Homo-oligomer: A and B are copies of this chain.
C-alpha cells in the first residue's frame, strides 16, 4: 500500500476554506477564537479600505490600505477577489493564498457571500462554509450592538443580510453560531475540516 503512488492518505491536499455568511453572523468572532486556539491554518489577511476599528491591528486583522493603494493592487492583478462592501473595498491578496497552499497549509479566508460565490467560480473545489445565527432577530441585534453604523448604514446591512441568508444553497456546510455557543461553532468548523481531510476524493484547488 505505501508503495502505491495513488494511495495518498498520508499527504492530504491543503484545503481552501471560505468562511462566509451574512453580516452579523459572527465571522470575525469565530476567526478570532480559531486563532486563540492556535489552530494550524493560514488565516488570510484581507486588504481593506475601510477604517480600522478600535480593537483591530494592521497586518494582523486586515491590511488597512488607502483607496489609491487598493486601486494599484487591482491594476497589478494582485487580488484573487475584491468587492465593494458598504462603500469600502475588500480584497484577497492572491500571492498570499498561493504561497500558503503551496506550503501545504489549509487556508482560511473570511469573505462576504457574493465573494464566496466568486471563489467558487475560481476554485470549484473550495470548501464553502456558511455561518449564520439562530434567528434573524439575533442577527439584527448583533448588527445594532456593533454601533459602527449610522441608521442608514444599519438598514442597508440588515437588508443585505436578509438577501444573503437566501443564498445558503451555494455553500457546502452551514454552522449556526448562536450567542452562547461560540466554542460549539468553532468545534464544528474543526470537525468539518478534519472530516474533509479524510475524503476519498480530496478537493484539489489550483489558483
Q: Taking beta carbons and an 8 Å cutoff, which residues of A are in contact with B?
A: 1-2, 9-10, 130, 132-136, 165, 168-169, 171-176, 187-188, 190-192, 194-196, 198-201
Contacts and interface: CB of A to CB of B under 8 A. Distances in A.
Nearest to A172: B200
Give chain A's interface secondary structure class.
Answer: mixed
A136 B135 CA distance: 50
Contacts of A130: 200
B188 A198 contact: yes
- Number of copies of chain A assembled together: 2
23 contacts: A1-B133, A1-B134, A1-B136, A9-B174, A169-B200, A171-B200, A172-B199, A172-B200, A173-B195, A173-B198, A173-B200, A174-B200, A175-B198, A187-B194, A188-B195, A190-B191, A191-B191, A191-B192, A191-B194, A191-B195, A192-B194, A194-B195, A195-B196
Contacts of A173: 195, 198-200
Nearest to A138: B1
A132 B4 CA distance: 14
A9 B176 contact: yes
